[in-house]
A and B are shown apart, each in its own frame.
Chain A
């Protein structure tokens, strides 16, 4: 599968039993653009990310990756282009940070440059001093940094980030914003959910507001022009209407 340059959800519906989590969501993510997905708890953000990550099957509708339906693509090749950072760290507590990254790197088929990539990522996320300690001894912020390193390890084209700033200290927040900006410049497609408007606004090219499983408002911004006030206005304008 060639480089992913567009992801499009078309009328995605997701039901959990009798509960409808998503009601016909359509969106388009483009290369080198960052989309911020806003919404209250339970709006369906994590479900949408799960569907885009191919982990959750939509009840109806479809997701096109580079113009192709997910079912028509080789699953391994597609998943190799996706990175998902979620609430859970998804690393093995009894292994060190380095061993975890080495393991996931091997799963993603990184071979020749694996050690180099692991070492540089550990350094980049600020875990060099703790790289060989068991992960179960890490603080919440360190775990989040490790999860970030695991997500970026295979240089995914589609980056799905569910509340990525959770647990990070001020330095961690700055670091993450830098890394995400780098990924965006590299041409990755970013979809970020966050309640922290101040932090995500500088990264935002497109904002979508999800409410009760529907996209009820959206806005586009020229690079670097989005502010937290505008994102807040997007949320409140819809509520007033």
Chain B
């Protein structure tokens, strides 16, 4: 177990170090997420202020769009120098590889949240009272999204049009995450006793989704990354 945790830590630390050196992924993703929120805000210029349904939707759409941009690029980087093959040839367990990639995606999407949430506060007047509940929803939503994206990101291998395939595979499979995240966020922002109960239900739903996605990812990563 200790060796497994060490493998995950080594792989994750490498991803972070490479990104700190290159910087291309994080800056592009954060800028893109800010632009997404800004573009949505233009739709409400001069009109009535956006409803909390809209705000909740923009939060999750921004996360999903910006997250996918970063995820595609992070896997593409592994393929450019064929380093993904070097990782697959090494003795690290496929589960460690999967978890490290998933955690890397989580870190990236957490960074996106750090841009999108203040931007929503500024442009959409987002006011959060139950921050703990919202962070719980975001954490579970990000985990579910990353669990699916990491599986397909690595396993598309040398497939042609993989940049196109990745969102085509990941978005439909993460519809439950985006739906639960949006409805849950709306319920948290609405803030009544009944809506908070709804939010708790969406949290439980995300928990079940995450557990299922994670188990499937750990189980399927090895056969899906086996070459040809």
Interface residues of A (CB under 8 A from B): 16, 50, 53-57, 75-77, 79-80, 82, 84, 86, 88-95, 99, 103-104, 106-109, 134, 150
Rounded to whole angstroms, the CA-CA distance of A57 and B223 in the bound complex is: 11
- 20 further A-B pairs in the complex, CB-CB below 8 A; given A79-B89, A104-B90, A107-B11: A53-B89, A54-B89, A55-B85, A76-B93, A77-B91, A80-B91, A86-B82, A88-B85, A90-B81, A90-B85, A92-B18, A92-B81, A94-B22, A99-B17, A103-B10, A104-B86, A107-B10, A107-B90, A134-B21, A150-B86
Inter-chain contacts of A84 with B (CB < 8 A)? 89
B228 within 8 A of A: yes
Interchain CB contact (< 8 A) of B82 among A76, A88, A107: A88
Interchain CB contact (< 8 A) of B89 among A55, A77, A92: A55
Among A16, A54, A76, A84: residue with most chain B CB under 10 A: A76
Inter-chain contacts of A76 with B (CB < 8 A)? 91-93
Interface size on B, residues (CB 8 A): 26
Q: CB distance A89 to B81 under 8 Å?
A: yes
User: Chain A: which residue is nearest B86 at the CB level?
Assistant: A90
Rounded to whole angstroms, the CA-CA distance of A95 and B83 in the bound complex is: 12
User: Chain A: which residue is nearest B225 at the CB level?
Assistant: A55
Closest 3 A/B residue pairs (Cβ): A88-B82, A90-B86, A76-B91
Rounded to whole angstroms, the CA-CA distance of A134 and B6 in the bound complex is: 25
Interface residues of B (CB under 8 A from A): 3, 6-7, 10-11, 14, 17-18, 21-22, 80-83, 85-93, 226-228
Could you list 22 examples of A-B contacts with CB < 8 Å? A50-B227, A53-B89, A55-B88, A56-B228, A57-B226, A76-B92, A76-B93, A84-B89, A86-B82, A89-B81, A89-B82, A90-B82, A90-B85, A91-B83, A91-B86, A92-B18, A94-B18, A99-B17, A106-B6, A107-B90, A107-B92, A108-B91
Inter-chain contacts of A91 with B (CB < 8 A)? 81, 83, 86
Inter-chain contacts of B91 with A (CB < 8 A)? 75-77, 79-80, 107-109
User: Chain A: which residue is nearest B228 at the CB level?
Assistant: A56
Q: CB distance B228 to A16 under 8 Å?
A: yes
Q: CB distance B7 to A107 under 8 Å?
A: yes
Closest-CB distance, A69 to chain B (whole angstroms): 16
User: Chain B: which residue is nearest A134 at the CB level?
Assistant: B21
Closest-CB distance, A156 to chain B (whole angstroms): 10
Closest-CB distance, B173 to chain A (whole angstroms): 26
Q: CB distance B18 to A95 under 8 Å?
A: yes
Question: With A76-B93, A134-B21 in contact, is A55–B87 under 8 Å at CB?
Answer: no
